[in-house]
Structures are given as structure tokens and as C-alpha cells.
Copies of this chain bind each other. A is one copy, B any other.
Amino acid sequence: MKAVRVYPPATIANLVCGFDVLGMAIDAPCDMMECRTSDTPGLRIIHTDAYALPTVPENNVAGVALLAMMEELPADTGFDLLIHKSIKPGSGLGSSAASAAGAVVAANALLEQPFSKEDLVRFAMFGEKLATGVKHADNIAPCIYGGITLIRSIFPLDIISLPAPDLFVTVVHPQIEVKTADARQILRKEVQLKQAIRQWGNIAGLVAGILQQDHALIGRSLEDVLIEPVRSILIPGFDQLKQRCLNAGALGGGISGSGPSVFMLSETAACADRVASIMQKTYDDMDVTANVYVTKIAKQGVRIELIESV
């Protein structure tokens, strides 16, 4: 039997001005999963972490993604999947996307890549549907492609892969709960045209900055006049934290996905470390437990290791 170990990375959806269309993979944190082919048809899941996630495939985010793939494979296909999560569910760092993407990338590697990356995104979105009720790809796509991805359209699926800028990322995950559904609920269904124009000026600037490797432009474009003013209410200390990080030299940043994690981009490791200290201190002062990560934008998506082949 063959077995692979994969490391699906955390992802930051929206990237401030790209609500529902942009996402970015980061090197840490990442999950670890092992997948092996089995003579017993069907799928069996084991969790080795402390998150008490369901192991019945139909109720498991990785499970439904892999089952969607198995619909397009011979009926006698069998997999055993071991999941060890490090990306905390509910962190706003694409935890469910990592589970779903990791599972289908692992199985595809075992089968010697019959499916394209776009196929894998299609399968993994079944996991997002289970997790959030909606098929979306703004975490799934960067998890699989690496770097930054643009979902120009979801129906039909149109994924544009953008290169990873050579930047440091500091992420803080304050241990408070923000439900994605709540974070979506508080958004207005209608927005001012004037503000929408500002938003699409910024996303256009961000994409140009990424492709022209213009870090200052990336920084200037990380502005969100529509979503952040509403959602940041759910994150204690957000405005102050952001201002302090910018004062310390960060290029820019904002809420990761629907929160509560907050990320900042920096040009140097020293700056990213300063930002980390500010983040830690801000939440220490509020007596809120917080995990802080200093990492880089991931150049690749799910990493794959072949661990066994008999």
C-alpha cells in the first residue's frame, strides 16, 4: 500500500480589499495529514488532535471533500485518512479549507495525480459547504495553489494564481469566538456605489502591486472601506492594534477571513517580529489569550511527502 503525508497550510481569505475573491497561503501554522490506499473500499478517518472533530466521513470536512473525489473514482477505491490539526477551527485561518484541501491533495498524490488543481478545488469546496453552508474557494484555492489566488468567478469556477510576494506575515489569533455566519450576517446587503468604487480601486492596486512586486503599492491598497468597519466591531481592540502595527512599520493588514485572527504584512523579519510583540502585548493587556505566528507567504500550496510505498 502507498501512503503520503501532506501539510496543508493556513490561509488568509479576503486580503482586506478582496472580500470573497482573494486568498493567501502562509507557511505556518499548517496541519499534518496521512493518507494511505486501502484494499477495503470506502473511507475511514482518524483524528489525532484535541479538537474532537467528527470522524464519520459524511460529517467531516475532509471526509466530504474526499468522498466527492471518490464519486469520480472506481467503486472499490479505499483510503485511510489520519488528521492532525494545528490550525484551530474557528480561527479565521482556513482550518476547514486545510482539512478539505489536504485530503484531496493527498489522495490525488497517491493516485498519481489524475485530477487537476482546479478539480481538487471543486472537490474540496464540498468541505466548505459542510463547514459554512456555502461553497466558496477563497481559502481552498490558495491552500492548493500556494501564493495568492483570485477567484474571479465561482460559477463557473475561474481561479487565477498570483505569485507569492516576498513578504513576512504576522498573525494573531485571539481566543475569542467569531462565527463566520454571524460575521456574514452583520454585513449590509447593499453598499454605496462610491465606496464600492474605492474598494475595486484598491483590489486592482493590490493585484498590480503583487504582479509588479511593488510592496509600497501593496501596502497602500490594503484598505477596506466596506467590510472591515463592520466586522472589526467583533474583534476587541482591532483599530488600536492595527494602528500600532502600522506605526511599527507594517505595510498593512486587517482581519483574516471573518476573524478573529488579524494579520499584518511586513518587508523584514525584524518588522514582523516587532508587530508580533505588539500583537501579543495588546491581547495580554486585555487578558485575552492569543497565539501569534511570524511566518512568510507560502510559495507553494499543500506540501506532499511520500512516506511508504510497498
B221:A152 contact, CB within 8 angstroms:
yes
A208:B150 contact, CB within 8 angstroms:
yes
Docked Cα-Cα span, A21 to B196, in Å, equals: 11
What's the minimum C-beta distance from A205 to chain B, rounded to whole angstroms?
4
Task: Give the residue of B160, B187, B191, B204 whose beta carbon is less than 8 angstroms from that of A18.
Answer: B204
Judge whether A309 is part of the interface by a CB distance below 8 angstroms. Answer: no
On whether A201 and B21 interact (CB within 8 A), knowing A191-B191, A193-B191, the answer reads yes
Judge whether A20 is part of the interface by a CB distance below 8 angstroms. Answer: yes
Interface residues on A, range: 35 or more
B153:A200 contact, CB within 8 angstroms:
no
Which residues from chain B contact A162 at a C-beta distance below 8 Å?
208
What's the minimum C-beta distance from A111 to chain B, rounded to whole angstroms?
29
Task: Give the residue of B20, B205, B208 whose beta carbon is less than 8 angstroms from that of A197.
Answer: B20
Q: How many copies does the complex hold?
A: 2
Judge whether A88 is part of the interface by a CB distance below 8 angstroms. Answer: no
Near B by CB (< 8 A), chain A positions 97-132 give none
Closest residue on chain B to residue A17 by CB atoms: B200
Judge whether A305 is part of the interface by a CB distance below 8 angstroms. Answer: no
Most chain B Cβ neighbours within 10 Å, of A17, A22, A208, A226? A208
Task: Give the residue of B160, B189, B190, B217 whose beta carbon is less than 8 angstroms from that of A208.
Answer: B160
| Residue contacts A-B, CB under 8 angstroms, 15 given | A17-B200, A18-B204, A20-B201, A21-B204, A150-B204, A150-B205, A152-B201, A160-B205, A160-B217, A162-B208, A191-B191, A193-B226, A196-B199, A203-B204, A207-B207
Contacts from A to B (Cβ < 8 Å) = 17-22, 150-153, 158, 160, 162, 187-194, 196-208, 211-212, 217, 220-221, 226
